Structure 1
Amino acid sequence: MTKKGFTKCDVCYEKFEIDLNKLLPLVERGEEILEKDSKGQLDYQDVKNDLINLIENLQKYIPNYSYPLFTLLRISTLTLTNNLNFSKTQKSEFEFEFDFELCLNYLRNTFEASKEIFSENHSNKTLILAEYSKFLNFSFNYIINNNNNKNKKFNQIEIISKKKNIINFLENSIKFTELSFGKLNKGGIVGKELNLILNDCKLELDNLNILF
């Protein structure tokens, strides 16, 4: 027997039907993964494909800021960013590209979802924004410098424009670190790290302006 449930859209408030027989097993599987993670027993590589499919299926039924989807996105994002920074040489080009695009997508989803969960200056929201800012810069540099990437074909104006957008994003992130972690200590460790990245970006922009 099919179990149906009703929920309401957070934007238009229209009620719609959900197949609970399909949703509940997904939620239960997500809770199992989160429980393992809380106990330090989660091997991300072992559950990576399962987690990717789980997130994709949950997104069909619930918004990204819902439990357990939001936390699953956070776990996946943190693991992927750590792996991408250090393990390119251990991955095939295809695998690296896949993880790269997946991480960027998850970070975007997590950042947008955090707006619905946390208050304006909440530290968790600030940390997510900082992670997103850092990865935007990392992803831009990767796309520009990777000769095999099909998306590399930016013209000179686009390259400068994108770098300026990243600088603006970083500056905004730094303001939030100062609000969340204190202006006197320059946004704490997170703010100082972002400032270093920002300074590098400004130097890169100066060099781009000279070249072009």
Structure 2
Amino acid sequence: MIDRETFDTLADEYPTASWAIWSDDFPDEDCIEEDPTNIRDFLAEQRERMDPNVVFVGLNPGGEILAELSNFHGIGQSMSDGGIYGKYDQRLESYIRLAALTGGYMTDLSPVEEPDAGNVTLTDSDYESFADQLCILDQEHYTIICFGNKVFDALADQTGADVTDGPLSLRTFTATITDRSVRVYRVWHYSNWGAYQHKIDELRTQLVYIAAESIRDARTILW
């Protein structure tokens, strides 16, 4: 859980971020996410379900963000860009719920709205912005889940960490960011398609594994 002041600070300063909480009706007709302007108020009421120790990180918003905190919560059903990204968000929601990782903080390393990841160049200020968000969340330990190699490699380079290969095609490292302990994982991206479609089933398993490993890590820290 986080307090209202922390919630509002993040929402005001990082409106393209969000939380891994969706309404019970998502993505059906008349769900809260159908009108993005409702999402901030909805999430504010869900603060008891929030887990600031878990942070999901994408590269950048793949399309236009219509309202604050609406990133990762699209429901589009058409074949327009919005529809395609909405289908990806539905897939992500189902996998996070399956892995019992609901409530984590969600953000992108770059705020640039660009559908082609190849056109996104990460900067030092992007890393500093991410570190600032961790400071606002104010946890001693984080489990950070990066979607794809570009985000993961950027964080590994910035921290100077040694990367290891884990089970289920995971990549991982431990480091400190602003004096806070982080365990960082690279998982497959939830919008994989075409030749990469076969990785989607493994992504589900990766998230379940990370959730279980996070519990083991917490027990080691606490006991």
TM-score interval for Structure 1 and Structure 2 normalised by the shorter chain:
under 0.3
- Give the TM-score normalised by structure 2: 0.26
TM-score normalised by length of structure 1? 0.27
Greater helix content: 1
Greater strand content: 2
- Work out which structure has the larger RCO, using CA pairs closer than 8 Å and 6 or more positions apart in sequence: 2
